[in-house]
């Protein structure tokens, strides 16, 4: 089971149970519609469509499909890629809140599934990608998500790296709504009452002069900031944990992190069974850290394990 903390869980029937073969990366889409409309569409069995995640312009984040299950978003790319649909239309950019949410999904996918923090160059690559890069094999959606959003992918990657490295990044937003201007209202007063800023209100509503408000005017209100959950990592289980016959999701999570570190020596997998491929991969990681000889024997030690930051397995 892999559900993202901080995402609103809204399961839909359109999915293939236990159908996700691997996770090469995260694919960015545009909905060509609203979050509410897409949520409704994914609940219609005749739609034959779904996505793992979806964002709203004001910062809502839905998870529709568990990442152990296959979503139906990009045809032949479904088996190996996590999908994120974004509210909006072709030709638009993602909002600041959507950039944050996509960055959070990418950071989570890195920590949970070992997705490398890099831009994908095509279906056989890994990292952060977009629907059109899959060509006809991915449904031929050459305008999804559009050139303006593709140009924003480096910014999403930058923010994801900041989250993973514990650096500063803009917090996600939740909720939001509208406010009807009353007599005597000022934009500063409305912003203060909703826990936001005049600039955020002006930018969201396209106000050229923040001092000019009309009674009855409806203003969009940004959602309140929320704090991303601090990543949790598996504590070192002890060297004796790693032996022939060991089967554990911790081994899978470790293998995915080794792949993300460029140390994977797997012909297939990684998987839950401790194998010689895991040992060879960990030995490569130990050598990357500067160990040699008996200190790079492929059996995890506490110091190297803590540096690997294997995601906590629930």
For the chain, count helices (H), then strands (E).
9, 10
Please give the pLDDT value at position 98: 93
**β-bridge mates for residue 221, sequence order:** 177
Query: For the chain, what is the mean pLDDT?
Result: 88
Q: Which is more confidently placed, 197 or 142?
A: 142
Judge whether 115 and 258 are in contact, CB under 8 Å: no
Q: Which of 62-66, 82-86, 107-111, 126-130 has the lowest mean pLDDT?
A: 107-111
Q: How far is CA 266 from CA 240, 252, 313, in A?
A: 22, 12, 21
Mean pLDDT of 260-277: 85
Residue-wise pLDDT tens digits, 99-111: 989 999 999 999 8
Q: What is the pLDDT of residues 37-78, one digit of tens each?
A: 999 999 999 999 999 999 999 888 999 999 999 999 999 999
């Amino acid at each position: 089971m892999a559900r993202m903390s901080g995402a609103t869980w809204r399961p839909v029937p359109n999915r293939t149970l236990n159908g996700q073969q691997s996770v090469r990366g995260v694919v960015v889409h545009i909905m060509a519609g609203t979050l509410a409309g897409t949520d409704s569409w994914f609940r219609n069995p005749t739609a034959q469509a779904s996505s793992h995640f979806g964002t709203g312009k004001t910062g809502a984040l839905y998870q529709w499909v568990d990442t152990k299950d296959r979503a139906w978003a990009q045809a032949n790319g479904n088996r190996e890629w996590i999908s994120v649909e974004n509210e909006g239309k072709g030709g638009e950019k993602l909002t600041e809140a959507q950039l944050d949410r996509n960055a959070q999904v990418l950071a989570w996918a890195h920590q949970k599934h070992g997705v490398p923090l890099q831009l994908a160059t095509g279906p056989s690559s890994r990292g952060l990608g977009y629907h059109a890069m899959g060509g006809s094999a991915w449904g031929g959606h050459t305008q999804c998500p559009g050139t303006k959003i593709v140009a924003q992918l480096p910014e999403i990657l930058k923010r994801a790296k900041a989250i993973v490295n514990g650096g500063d990044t803009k917090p996600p937003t939740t909720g939001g709504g509208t406010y009807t201007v009353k007599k005597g209202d000022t934009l500063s007063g409305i912003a203060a009452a909703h826990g936001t800023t005049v600039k955020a209100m002006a930018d969201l509503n396209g106000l050229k002069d923040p001092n000019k408000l009309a009674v009855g005017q409806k203003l969009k209100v940004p959602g309140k900031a929320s704090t991303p959950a601090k990543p949790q990592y598996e504590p070192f289980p002890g060297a004796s944990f790693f032996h022939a016959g060991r089967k554990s999701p911790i081994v899978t999570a470790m293998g995915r992190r080794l792949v993300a570190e460029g140390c994977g020596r797997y012909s297939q997998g990684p998987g839950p069974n401790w194998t010689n491929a895991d040992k060879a991969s960990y030995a490569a990681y130990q050598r990357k850290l500067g160990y040699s000889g008996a200190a790079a024997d492929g059996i995890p030690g506490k110091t190297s394990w803590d540096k690997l930051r294997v995601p906590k397995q629930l």
